[in-house]
Structure 1
C-alpha cells in the first residue's frame, strides 16, 4: 500500500513522513521528488517546464518506481509529494491501480497563515542562493505555488482524505494517518 501525502509545498509532508517512519518501523519512505531531481539534467535540455511533474516521464517513472518498491519490499510506502494538477494525479493513481497497488491518499491542509509560518521557519529558508537555484525550491517556490495548491483543494477533497494540520504537531498528524490507514491502534 502507498500512503501518499499531498498538501501545500512546505506544509509538512516530509516531516510527517519522517514521523510515520519513526512511528511504524515497517514503512518505507520513498520521495517522488528524487525522481524529478534525477531527470532534470536529461529532460531540461529537451523541454523547458515550470515543474518536473509536467514531464510525462516523471509521472511514469513514479508509478514504475512505487510499484517496484511495493513488490520488492511488501511494505507500506509513504510518498510525500504535492500534486496539484488533477490530470497528473489521475495518471499516477490509475497507473498504480493498474499495477495492483492500493493508494491511501491524505492531504495535509493548513490555513494560509500557518502555511506561511511553516515556510518562514523551514530550514530551506537558510539555504544558499545557489542551493535554491539548483533545486528550484526554497521559500520563493513554496510561496509562488501556494495559489496552485489552494486552487486544487476542491478536487483534492474528493480524491483524498483531508486532515487539517493547522493546530497539530507532525507526530499527531502521523498518528492520525496511521490510525485512519489501520496501520496502528488508535493512540489515546
Structure 2
C-alpha cells in the first residue's frame, strides 16, 4: 500500500510522514522529490522548467520506483509529495492502479494565515521561501476543486505534528 501525503509546500508533509512511518508497522518513507533531483542532474539539462513535475518522465518514474520498492520490501510506502496538478495526480494514481497498488491519498491542510506563518518561521528551508509562497494560490485552487474528491483532508491548522500523524493514520484506516 502507498500512503501519499499531499499538501502545499510548508504544510508539514516531511515531518508528518516521518511520524506516520513510525506509527505504521513495516513502512518506509520514499521521497519522490529525489526522482526529480535525479532528472535535474541530467547533463545537458532537460528543457527549462520551474518544476520538475512538468517533465513527462517524472510521473512514470515515480510510479515505477514506488512499485519496485514495494516489490522488494513489501509493506507500506509513505510518500510525502505535493501534487497540485490534477492531470499529474491522475497519471500517478492510474500508474499505481495498473500495478494493483492501493493508495491512501491524504492532504494535509492548514488555513492560509497559518501556512504563511509556518513558511515565515521555517528554519530548515529558510524564512519566506519564494518557492513555497508561490504555491499557496495553486494549492488553494486545487483544494477548492479536485483534491477533496481524491483525498482525505487532515486539517493541521491547530495540530501538533504528532497529532497530524495520528489523524493521518486514522484517515487511512477508516
Partner of 2:81: 81
By how many angstroms is 1:21 displaced?
2.1
TM-score computed with the length of structure 1 as normaliser: 0.87
* CA distance in 2 between partners of 1:73 and 1:43 (Å): 32
The Cα shift of 1:22 comes to 2.5
Counterpart in the other structure of 2:116: 116
Change beyond 3 A, Cα 1:113–1:44: farther
Residue of 114, 120, 139 corresponding to 1:149: 139
Moved over 4 A (4+): none
2:135 aligns to what SS in structure 1? Answer: helix
The aligned runs of 1:12-27 (5 Å cut-off) are: 12-27=12-27
**Shift of residue 72 of structure 1?**
1.2
SS in structure 1 of the partner of residue 42 of structure 2 = helix
Unaligned runs of 5+ in 2: none
Give the superposition deviation at 1:24: 2.9
Q: Is the 8 A contact 2:40 2:46 kept in 1?
A: no
Of stretches 95-104 and 38-47 in structure 1, the one that deviates more from structure 2 is: 38-47
Deviation, 1:120, is 1.5
Separation in 1 of the partners of 2:94 and 2:35?
Answer: 19
Q: Deviations over 1:125-161 (max 9, x none)?
A: 16xxxxxxxxxxx711000111111111120011111
The match for 1:162 is: 153
**1:65-112 per-position Cα deviation (integer Å, ceiling 9, x unaligned):** 011111111111100000001000000000000011100000001000
2:57 is matched with 57
- Count of equivalent residues: 172
Q: Which one is further off, 22-31 or 164-173?
A: 22-31
Aligned Cα RMSD in Å? 1.6
Structure 1 unmatched runs, 5+: 127-137, 184-188
Report the 3-state secondary structure (helix = DSSP H, G, I; strand = E; otherwise coil) of the residue aligned with 1:47.
Answer: coil
**TM-score, normalised to structure 2's length?**
0.93
Identify the residue that residue 36 of structure 2 maps to in structure 1: 36
More helix by share: 1
- Determine if the alignment matches structure 1 residue 177 to structure 2 residue 171: no
Shift of 1:44: 6.8
